[in-house]
Amino acid sequence: MKITLKNAFSKGEFIYREDGLLSEPVELTSLAALKRFLDVVHVKQCLLRPFFEHADYPLVESRELLPSFEADLWEYKHLPGFSMAAFERPLNYFQEVFQFDILHPVLDTASVAEGASCPLESQVIARNVQAMQTRLPKAFQESFRQRFGRFDTSVLDYYPALMPFLLAMDRAQVFALDSFGHFHLGGVYASFPSDLDSEIKRFGMRIGKFDVGDNEMYERNRLFVYQYLMELYGFPIVSERRTSSALFARRLHKMGECFMIRVLGQSDRTITTMIGEGDSRPYPRVEKLALVRVDADQEEALRAIDEAGYFLDRERRVVILRVTYRQHKFNPDNVRQDRALSVESQEVIHPVTGQVLSDLNIIKDASNMFLRLNDITRGEYTGRIIFKRNEIVENTDTDEKRLKFLYAWLSKHQRRIIGYSDEFFANVIKVLDNYLLSPDNYEAFGHLHDLYQEVWAKYSYIQQARKVRYLEDIQDREYRGERIGYRRMLAEAVQLLHGLKFEIVSYFDALVSSVIAIGENMLNDRYLLRTYIEKRDDELTPGGLEIKRNYGKLVSLVDEFRAIQRTRKVAA
């Protein structure tokens, strides 16, 4: 069956009629039910409609949904954008912590539908229509009044038909429960508070990246803190609409609210949802919905999607993809300390029934990453990236462009490369060494010295960081998936640090600090000290003596790294 806008979501829990309304009245009493309803409406009206109306609709590349998120390339002003907030409680207008124009639900909607005339109901309807009409651009006001002048626009039955008008408004929509416990459209033209300066500074202080009055420390770490904070809520450093939505979600979560914040950016073409369930989770749950083109080389995924009939457009390999993310608390001693977000699950949504197909890996495929790296180094990759947040680079037809693409690729996938298997990393090394160390490229790289050194520094950091990651595992007495004892822990740590100290010619302060912190944690292990180190040699077995010898070697190696760090700080 060919998917069209008319038959999209024509089966399932919420079904459209010809006039844009729903086939059955909607009475939603939980945030989860409201989310399912809004998923259908927003995907159909905000993603599928422009997809079918514009032949050149800019599909989302799968890598754009993979953290860390990249800065936006373009703003597509002809595409829809919106923001909204939903509360699993009635609104308390004066007590709310944001500004909006309130809409009141008509209590006896059945009598209005039957044509009964109640002065109070008519007044409420007229006030709601007036509140919405005055916030619309002039070009929409008359058509809105003619279409909805006699209807209760707060009722969710009319929400799909209202969408073209709501998308014409600059500010956010508000949903809440009425006095009967049913969700309704409770407000429009909402402005979310955005205390960005205070939030960045408080967060930076809490994770130890800022100190009161230390301007140099603030300047050095501000961008890292800003980016980490935004990524916790599913965004790079972006526009005001998405920034204010993220910070409002942060504020509501701290207040213990049960809420849902949703935003669609015209740049990212992605519906991002933040859900707070009033529980003890440190951050609201984040998920994204987008129209994604599946890569042609993902044969297994393509076959599964095709057999189940989940393609929106089979020829162009387009699917509706939902990605759910997991947030991570900041850990200064973790080599991947910049990892605020990781992918938890991926679901392909059926464009007719709304059912989901799980257990597919559309955006996090290691073979895909490796093939893309191969294409970049060969100059065969076609696409575009943003280099260092301010330069758009298209294609890889020159060495300069290839190096810029490599820098962006290594930056994007840095923490994944650090964590992926030895086999994957061995393939990455082979490809990068063949390109970066090839004698055929020396002359070209000589003319691009600074750029080449930046790429090499990024590559060196990843190589060293993988070893530090192994050191983290060794500290927990895990090594390459195997549980190890204290004897092996110290032997592996000594061997690893002995090799790593010769690579510090490319010095990275964060990695050296991590090595020292992990080494000190090993040396201060109370069981290790009590059982082996504090005993006399004649009280120990041969295995215990080996542990004690390696402990001494580890002490010396940690001291060497401290000396390296002191020397570098003095030189700086």
Report how far residue 307's alpha carbon sits from residue 221's, in angstroms, rounded to the nearest whole number. Answer: 49
Whether this model's pTM surpasses 0.75: yes
Helix (H, G, I), strand (E, B) or coil at 434: helix
283: left (phi over 0), alpha (psi -120 to 50) or beta: beta
Tokens read off for 1: 């069956």
For residue 41, give the amino acid letter.
V
Read off φ and ψ for residue 439, nearest 5 degrees: -60, -30
pLDDT at 108: 44
Q: Kindly provide the residue ranges of all beta strands, DSSP E only, lying in 62-136, ordered along the sequence.
A: 82-87, 99-102
Report how far residue 235's alpha carbon sits from residue 242's, in angstroms, rounded to the nearest whole number. Answer: 8
Question: How do 172-177 and 82-87 pair as beta strands?
Answer: parallel
On the CB side of 535, CA atoms within 13 Å amount to 17
pLDDT string in tens for the chain (572-residue length):
678 888 888 887 776 665 556 666 788 999 999 999 999 999 999 999 999 999 899 999 888 898 888 877 788 889 999 999 999 999 999 999 999 999 998 864 444 444 444 567 888 888 999 999 999 999 999 999 998 888 888 999 899 999 999 999 989 999 999 988 999 999 999 999 888 999 999 999 998 899 998 999 999 899 989 999 999 999 988 888 899 999 999 999 999 999 999 999 888 899 999 999 877 788 999 999 999 999 888 888 899 999 999 999 999 999 999 999 998 888 776 666 667 888 899 999 999 989 999 888 888 767 777 788 888 999 988 888 888 877 888 889 899 999 999 999 898 888 888 888 888 888 899 999 999 999 999 999 999 999 999 999 999 999 999 889 889 889 888 887 788 899 999 999 999 999 888 887 788 888 888 899 999 999 999 999 999 999 888 888 999 999 999 999 999 999 999 998 888 877 66
For residue 268, give the amino acid letter.
D
Report how far residue 353's alpha carbon sits from residue 40's, in angstroms, rounded to the nearest whole number. Answer: 10
Bridge partners for 479 per DSSP? 482
Q: Is the Cβ–Cβ distance between 86 and 175 less than 8 Å?
A: yes
Tokens read off for 136: 């619309």
Q: Is the Cβ–Cβ distance between 196 and 243 less than 8 Å?
A: yes
Nearest to 107 by CA among 84, 90, 132: 90
Residues for the chain: how many in total?
A: 572
pLDDT at 23: 61
Tokens read off for 90: 């009635």
Q: Is the Cβ–Cβ distance between 310 and 302 less than 8 Å?
A: no
Domain boundaries, the chain: 31-54+70-188, 196-357, 365-447, 452-572
Radius of gyration in angstroms for the set of CA atoms belonging to the chain, rounded to a whole number: 28
pLDDT at 114: 44
pLDDT at 400: 93
Per-residue b/e over 81-116, b at no fewer than 16 CB within 10 Å? bbbbbbbbeebeeeebebebbbbbbbbebeebeeee
